Structure 1
Amino acid sequence: MNKFFSNRRLVIVIVCLIVSFGLMSVSVAIRNKRSTPPLIQQFGNDVVGLVNRVIAWPVNGLKGSVTGVSDLLNTYQENQRLKSQVQELAQTKVHDQSVSQENKRLKQELKLNHALTDYSPVNATVIARTPSSWENQVIIDKGSAAGIKKNMPVLSGSGLVGRVSEVNRTNSKVELLSNSSESANRFAISITNKSGSTVNGIISGFDNAKNQIEMGNITSKTKIQKGDKVVTSGLGGIMPAGLLVGTVASTGTDNYGTASKITIKPAADISELSVVTVAIRQAQTTN
């Protein structure tokens, strides 16, 4: 009896499995034949799609805004880096130009030092030059401690630019050739023409517009030509003779026609002084 019931349960289980597999096959076949899902499923899909669009719209907008802000920040940072590089390049260019000009002036001073056989050259740097006295004086970084004394000649490049007018322990004041004030000491100069004749005079003024020295107190009628060399004459006992001042730029007569009018092109650029040389006579050299 028990065996019969046991076999009966087994048969029922097998029948249930067969019916289940049959229903699944029919369901799959029906689903494959239908081109559209059921109405309830369509409604559910539409609702889900609408919800996805509603949620996706602000999310996509926020994502786009974040991306835009990030790109803007990156552009700003890159722009700042480029500006910094441009400023660095500009500063480097200016520095290179300054170094190049300083190197050129130092080479000129080196050539000048070799030419000063009767003097001991002391190189100095211009440390002050005020706009109000630009054409009158400069201050250099050498003083009595370096052997500098009053009235010593000061040169730059290949020619005379002035003389020491005041000496301190560590710096000195230089009166320039271009100083045309009444209180300035006049430089005695001379011109020697090609025939060997000499014309003496003094520096009487300076033309800032043309950057030329004016020579006055000329009494000789000796013919002077453009290009003749102008040097210190040594007259007056203050400035030594033979230091190059410049070359004759033009000649003529003054408004009264009684004296020659001579303008001189300076051998050194007085308007731009950064390095100068103070010429100390060998007999004056200090130990």
Structure 2
Amino acid sequence: MPVFRKKRLFIILCGIIILVAMIGYSLRDRDSLTMPEKFINDTVGWVQSVIHTPVSYVASIFSNIDDIKNTYNENQLLKEKLAEYKSLIYEVQEIKEENEELRNTLDKSDSLRDFNPIHATVTSRSPERWVEQITINKGEQDGVETNMAVITAEGMIGKVQATSEFSSHVQLLSGFDQFNRISATISREEGNDDIFGLIEEYDKETDSLLFKIIDESDTEIEEGELVVSSGMGGVFPAGLMIGTVTDVIPDQYGLTNTALVEPAANMYEINNVIVVDRLLNGQEDVTAEEEDAE
């Protein structure tokens, strides 16, 4: 019995030694594999490929199903948005037709909101006056004149300060001072009176335009109300988006209120703009020239 145990321990010890030797042999750097290693590697690779192919196929089927579901949901969403867009187009068209009919009824062919857009691109911007002035590639040859409003898709950014034949300088709202004023109004829903006033300057401390209220009323001004051009200044057309009210500050005597207006447009990232040529002025000039000719 003790001899048998010794033999068994000897065999186990020899097996451990052989196993360690094989592990050490397999871990050393070699340029080629042995035949058993090659056979094992090829067998394992073949089994993996056999299992991987159907698994990948099934996984791709489920992935395609998810993609189809996502595409269907996105398609439904786009259809809804397209339907809304079409309804808005029809609504705008009906409003235009109704507006034209009302003008014809009143024998009025022009409106304070009418303007001719002159598209332009920002060509330069001085680092010293980054938030005060830009230069655009349209000038007198394109019909640009001083004091014309300049807007982007977001809203008004300023007015034309100086013009040359093929370029113009635009003074940004963020560079306005007490010598620059815009006739504006706080636009409200039907049934509520609009509040008129003047955009007088830009306050750098609050990063807001100062809207001095002329038409004082008992109606409180609320945060978030829209401020647009009124068209009463004689140069800018009505309805140009300027910004939103963030706060109202009374003067030291409590007689007038000044609203802080956050500009709607970004004054730092400006690439493409529209110079607003008010049609009403142009129509009056044409009429005056015709009368002089007669």
Q: Structure 1 residues 180 and 148, CA, compared in 2 at 3 Å: closer, same or farther?
A: closer
TM-score (norm 1): 0.52
Instruction: Give the equivalent residue in structure 2 for 1:192.
Output: 187
CA distance in 1, matches of 2:177, 2:248: 23
Secondary structure of the residue that 2:174 maps to in structure 1? coil
Instruction: Give the equivalent residue in structure 2 for 1:267.
Output: 264
Task: Return the offset for 1:260.
Answer: 1.5
Task: Return the offset for 1:132.
Answer: 3.4
Give the aligned residue type for 1:266: P
Give the aligned residue type for 2:230: S
Instruction: Give the equivalent residue in structure 1 for 2:277.
Output: 280
**1:177 corresponds to 2:165:** no
TM-score (norm 2): 0.51
CA distance in 2, matches of 1:275, 1:255: 41
**1:226 corresponds to 2:210:** no
**1:156 corresponds to 2:121:** no
CA distance in 2, matches of 1:215, 1:130: 28
| Cα displacement string for residues 127-159 of structure 1 (whole angstroms, at most 9, x for unaligned residues) | 222243333322111111222122221101221
Structure 2: unaligned runs, 5 residues or longer: 1-95, 97-112, 284-294
Match of 1:167 among 163, 166, 169: 163
Task: Return the offset for 1:232.
Answer: 0.8
Instruction: Give the equivalent residue in structure 1 for 2:66.
Output: none
Task: Return the offset for 1:261.
Answer: 2.5
Instruction: Give the equivalent residue in structure 1 for 2:70.
Output: none
CA distance in 2, matches of 1:236, 1:282: 14
What pairs with 1:70-89 in structure 2 (closer than 5 Å)? none
Structure 1: unaligned runs, 5 residues or longer: 1-114
Instruction: Give the equivalent residue in structure 1 for 2:118.
Output: 122
Give the aligned residue type for 1:268: A
- May I ask how many residue pairs the two structures share in their alignment? 172
CA distance in 1, matches of 2:160, 2:168: 7
Secondary structure of the residue that 1:225 maps to in structure 2? coil
CA distance in 2, matches of 1:125, 1:148: 13
CA distance in 2, matches of 1:260, 1:281: 30
**1:139 corresponds to 2:135:** yes
Task: Return the offset for 1:209.
Answer: 4.8
| Cα displacement string for residues 200-239 of structure 1 (whole angstroms, at most 9, x for unaligned residues) | 1111222335432111253413321112111111223122
- RMSD of the TM alignment (CA)? 3.0
Instruction: Give the equivalent residue in structure 2 for 1:4.
Output: none
Identity of aligned residues (%): 34
| Cα displacement string for residues 141-195 of structure 1 (whole angstroms, at most 9, x for unaligned residues) | 111122212222110122111111221111011122223334x331111113344
Q: Structure 1 residues 252 and 282, CA, compared in 2 at 3 Å: closer, same or farther?
A: closer
Report which of the two structures shows the higher radius of gyration computed on alpha carbons: 1
Give the aligned residue type for 2:126: T
Secondary structure of the residue that 2:128 maps to in structure 1? helix
Tell whether the 8 Å contact from 2:122 to 2:271 is kept in structure 1 after alignment.
yes
**1:242 corresponds to 2:220:** no
Give the aligned residue type for 2:134: V
Match of 2:208 among 205, 212, 228: 212
Tell whether the 8 Å contact from 2:114 to 2:278 is kept in structure 1 after alignment.
yes
